[in-house]
């Protein structure tokens, strides 16, 4: 979960030891560390995106009255990414290039926190396994296949594209 904006990269500032330590940190702590780094680098676009992410996470924690796990933080990030895509589409239709650029920067910052996506080959292999395990024969059996896939692919693949692949 390394953030890059322009020519400034968090990984270029960290030592190899810090990078290994960072890999074992909870996602919430990585986000806080990235916020501090954005402050030090005076990167206002990245700072604004990370602050919005932290606010969304804190809002959800307050609503649920518990600290979020990494998986739950990923759900918040994915929701924000979906909102960014929707906003970009709306702003592009309204010819607001300035807002499209702002949302694109935020989208790029948020995507840095997602796990490495699965390759098409890995995804196909998991989908075939799901079809075998659920004994799916027709499109009517898609529900159980998707229910089997969702926990395994959470955060690693776009479920809309998985749904298209299953069909």
Mean pLDDT for 110-117 is 85
User: What separation in angstroms does the CA of 26 have from each of 35, 72, 109, 150, 162?
Assistant: 15, 12, 17, 22, 27
- pLDDT of the residue at 19: 54
Q: Which two tokens stand for residue 150?
A: 């969702």
Largest CA distance in the chain: 56
- pLDDT of the residue at 22: 58
Average pLDDT, the chain: 82
pTM higher than 0.75 for the full model? no
Predicted confidence band of residue 127 (pLDDT cuts 50, 70, 90): confident
d(CA 57, CA 64): 11
Mean pLDDT for 26-39 is 90
């Amino acid at each position: 979960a390394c953030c890059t904006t322009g020519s400034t990269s968090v990984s270029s500032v960290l030592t190899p030891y810090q990078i290994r330590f960072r890999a074992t940190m909870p996602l919430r702590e990585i986000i806080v560390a990235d916020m501090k780094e954005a402050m030090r680098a005076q990167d206002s676009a990245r700072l604004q995106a990370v602050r919005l992410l932290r606010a969304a996470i804190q809002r959800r924690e307050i609503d649920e009255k518990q600290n979020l796990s990494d998986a739950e933080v990923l759900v918040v990030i994915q929701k924000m990414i979906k909102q960014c895509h929707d906003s970009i589409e709306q702003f592009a239709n309204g010819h607001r290039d300035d807002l499209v650029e702002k949302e694109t920067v935020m989208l790029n910052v948020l995507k840095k926190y997602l796990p490495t996506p699965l390759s098409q080959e890995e995804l196909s292999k998991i989908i075939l396994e799901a079809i075998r395990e659920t004994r799916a024969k027709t499109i009517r059996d898609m529900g159980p296949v998707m229910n089997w896939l969702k926990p395994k692919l959470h955060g690693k693949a776009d479920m809309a594209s998985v749904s298209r692949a299953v069909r």
